[in-house]
Amino acid sequence: MDLGGLLARGFLLKDQLHDKPCERCGLLYDARESACPHCGGLDAAGLHMLLAEKDREQEGNASMGRIFLLIGAVLAAFVLVGFLSL
């Protein structure tokens, strides 16, 4: 058991306990803050732009996940073919 990694994970979890989702934009922020730092000072147009950017980032992350899944499947196929040809 890696004690350093366990301690680091504990500190990360401790910090996440204070995070809560904003009711307006859905992004996480520290619950000890009085307002969401992401959308607290934005008007309706600014909020719309923020949410559109959030959607673009999520779609980009999903695309990247699909690419890594495809690469992993191709690598697994190569390894399987390599073992079967022995």
Stated pTM of the model: 0.62
Q: Is the pLDDT of residue 18 over 80?
A: no
In the chain, where the domains are located: 1-41, 44-86
Q: Is the pLDDT of residue 14 over 80?
A: no
* Residues 15, 16, 19, 25, CA torsion sign: positive
Under 8 Å between Cβ of 31 and 20: yes
pLDDT at 21: 92
Q: Is the pLDDT of residue 11 over 60?
A: yes
Q: How far is CA 30 from the centre of its chain?
A: 16
